[in-house]
Amino acid sequence: MTIEPEEALPTEGLVCVVGAGGKKTTLYTLANSLDRAVVTATVRIPIFDDHVARVGVTGDPVDAPAEAKAGDFPLGLVPERERDDRYLGYDTAVVDDLAAAHDGPVLVKADGARMRELKAPSDREPQIPASADAVVPIASAHVVGEPLTDEHVHRPERVAAVAGIDEGEAITAGTVGRVLASPAGGLKDVPPGAETVALVNKVDDADDEAVAREVARAAFDADDAGRLDRVVLAALGEGRVVDVLDA
């Protein structure tokens, strides 16, 4: 049975994506499969005009969805273009107000990863609005087997501390699972009651799938607080969900 991304991942209300290895792909895949979706950010986001119907640049986005035409969705909303290749993001309180006013999903990039495959957040991250209905922490299956260095990992020192390994060591499925399920990693600052769905992305073949299943098992084992609702294995660059594993 084929599982569509919008069936596997959270799609209602205010949905934030964090982590590394597919945040933007996740946002754009969902946005283009949902009615009246808004894409925005609470951190910097690369220019994404080609991935939505229209981008509105406004300091006050709350009324923008209601004023938009049907053909404007999925609608991107950002406060300012910082330079040629990226926009700035809104304060979290502004996104709270936007989501409260909009009658469709609001999809939010809530941290950065500099195109790496795994990360753990800094003291200032993630920037998750208080009213978030769901959070999707993401990691790439491709990082397993690579050394824990900044070539593959954003803030390797943070990942090392969260996962209990040394920088330079080989990253295992257990490493990734522990990071996804840690309150200092993928679960950091998730609002109480928010749905939490981890995504292991870039599951491109059978070998990746075997690795991703190990990651999911490790994440569930490390989730002492029981915050993970499920883990999705996917290759969202191809728009494909491989499996959905329940806690």
Q: How many domains does the chain have?
A: 1
Task: For 41-96, write each residue's pLDDT tens digit.
Answer: 999 999 999 999 999 999 999 999 999 999 999 999 999 999 889 999 999 999 99
DSSP run (H or E) holding 8? helix 5-8
Q: Specify which residues 147 forms β-bridges with.
A: 170
- Contact, 118 vs 20, CB < 8 A? yes
- What pTM does this model have? 0.97
- Contact, 65 vs 18, CB < 8 A? no
Q: How is residue 205 written in tokens?
A: 């073949």
Task: For 149-195, write each residue's pLDDT tens digit.
Answer: 999 999 999 999 999 999 999 999 999 999 999 999 999 999 999 99
Question: Quick one: which of 45, 44, 39 has its CA closest to 65?
Answer: 39
- Contact, 25 vs 143, CB < 8 A? no
Q: How is residue 84 written in tokens?
A: 């040629």
In three-state secondary structure terms, 154 is strand
Range of the domain at 190: 5-246
